[in-house]
Amino acid sequence: MKVKTKKENKEVLLGAHMSSAGGVDKAVERAISIGCTALQLFTKNNNQWFSKKLEEDVIENYKKLILESGLKGVVSHDSYLINLCAANPDILKKSRASFLDELERCEFLGVPYLNFHPGAHVGQGEADGLKKIIESLDIVHEKSKNYKTLSVVEVTAGQGTTLGYTFEQIKKIISGVEQKNRMAVCVDTCHIFAAGYDISNEKGYEKTFQDFEDIIGLEKLVAFHVNDSKKGLGSKVDRHENIGKGEIGLLGFKLLMNDERFSQIPKILETPKSEDMHEDVENIKVLKKLIKK
C-alpha cells in the first residue's frame, strides 16, 4: 500500500466517506489505498442507536494509521437514526443519548469533527424544532465537558421537514447553544444547491459564501461535503450525483477547489460508490484536475 508523503498532503484535503466495515481502522486503510488526504467515517453502524464500545486495539491501530498517513481533516458522521428535535419523547431521549455516545467515540479516537444533521421537526413547526435542537445540544455538551470534538452541524437540502436548510437557521442553532465554541458547520454542496444557494456560477458562488460570512462567519466552516446534485436548484431534494454529472456542474466545483479561503478545509465526497471505490478515484481525479496550477 502506497502511503502518500506529508508534503503531498499539504496541497489539498480531499477524500471520501469510507466504510468502517471490519473496524474504524479499516476506514483509514481504505482512504489511504486510494490516496485520500481527508476522510469521513461512521464510528459505528449508522443504522443502530448504540454499538459496542470501541476495542482498545482498534483505537490504537486507528490512531497509528492516522499518524503514519498524515491524513488530516477527519470527520465522523453520526447515525441516521438520530433526530435531535424528535417529537416522540422516547426517540428524543434515545437521540440525545446516542449523540453523546457518538461524541464519546470521536473523543476516544481523536476525531476532531462530528458531523450531524440538525433534525426533522415532523410537524411541530420550525421554531419549536430549532428550540429542541438547541436544548439537545446543550444537554449533550453539558454531559461531555472538556471534549475536544466539535459538534458540526450540516446544512441540509430542506427535504421533508428537515431543518438547517438556510444559513439563518444554522446561525440560530449556533447562537442558541450555550457552549458556542463546541459548534462548527459543514457545507454540503448538493444540499445548499438543492436548498436554493446557486453555487453553479461565479456570481451565485460569491454571493453564497458572502452570505455565509455575513450570517454565520466563515471561521465556523470546518468541512465540505463535495457532491454534485441530481436535482435542480431549490428543489429541496437531497440526491447526490458524481462530480460534474449533476445540476451544479464542473464550474461550481472549480470555484470551490480554487478558493483559497477553503484550501485547508477537508473536502469529502459522499457520491454513489461501489466496493472497489472506483467512483471515488474518478471523482477525486476530476476535482484535482480543476485546481489551477
Please report, as ranges, the residues that interact with Zn ion according to CB under 5 A.
188, 225, 238, 270
Query: How many angstroms separate the CA atoms of 139 and 179, rounded?
Result: 11
Nearer to Zn ion, 138 or 270 (CB): 270
Nearer to Zn ion, 72 or 239 (CB): 239
Q: Position of cell 484535482?
A: 288
Nearer to Zn ion, 104 or 238 (CB): 238
Residue 162 per-residue DSSP state? B
Query: How many angstroms separate the CA atoms of 235 and 217, rounded?
Result: 26
Nearer to Zn ion, 54 or 225 (CB): 225
Least separation, in Å, of the C-beta of 33 and Zn ion?
23
User: Considering only CA atoms, which of 154, 119, 113, 112 is closest in space to residue 135?
Assistant: 119
Q: What cell numbers appear for 231 in the block?
A: 436535482
Query: How many angstroms separate the CA atoms of 227 and 252, rounded?
Result: 11
Query: How many angstroms separate the CA atoms of 236 and 286, rounded?
Result: 26
Least separation, in Å, of the C-beta of 265 and Zn ion?
14
Angle at the Cα of 159 from the Cα atoms of 157 and 161, rounded to 5 degrees: 120
Least separation, in Å, of the C-beta of 77 and Zn ion?
8
Least separation, in Å, of the C-beta of 151 and Zn ion?
15
Least separation, in Å, of the C-beta of 278 and Zn ion?
21
Nearer to Zn ion, 270 or 279 (CB): 270
Least separation, in Å, of the C-beta of 110 and Zn ion?
22
Q: Position of cell 433526530?
A: 83
Q: What cell numbers appear for 39 in the block?
A: 476522510
Nearer to Zn ion, 130 or 153 (CB): 153
Least separation, in Å, of the C-beta of 238 and Zn ion?
4
User: Considering only CA atoms, which of 266, 264, 282 is closest in space to residue 274?
Assistant: 282
Query: How many angstroms separate the CA atoms of 198 and 265, rounded?
Result: 21
Nearer to Zn ion, 102 or 188 (CB): 188
Which strand (E) or helix (H) includes residue 83? none
Nearer to Zn ion, 29 or 270 (CB): 270
CA pseudo-torsion sign 143, 145, 149, 154: positive
Pairing of strands 183-188, 228-229: unpaired
Least separation, in Å, of the C-beta of 155 and Zn ion?
9
Q: Position of cell 502511503?
A: 3
- Most distant CA pair in the chain, distance: 54
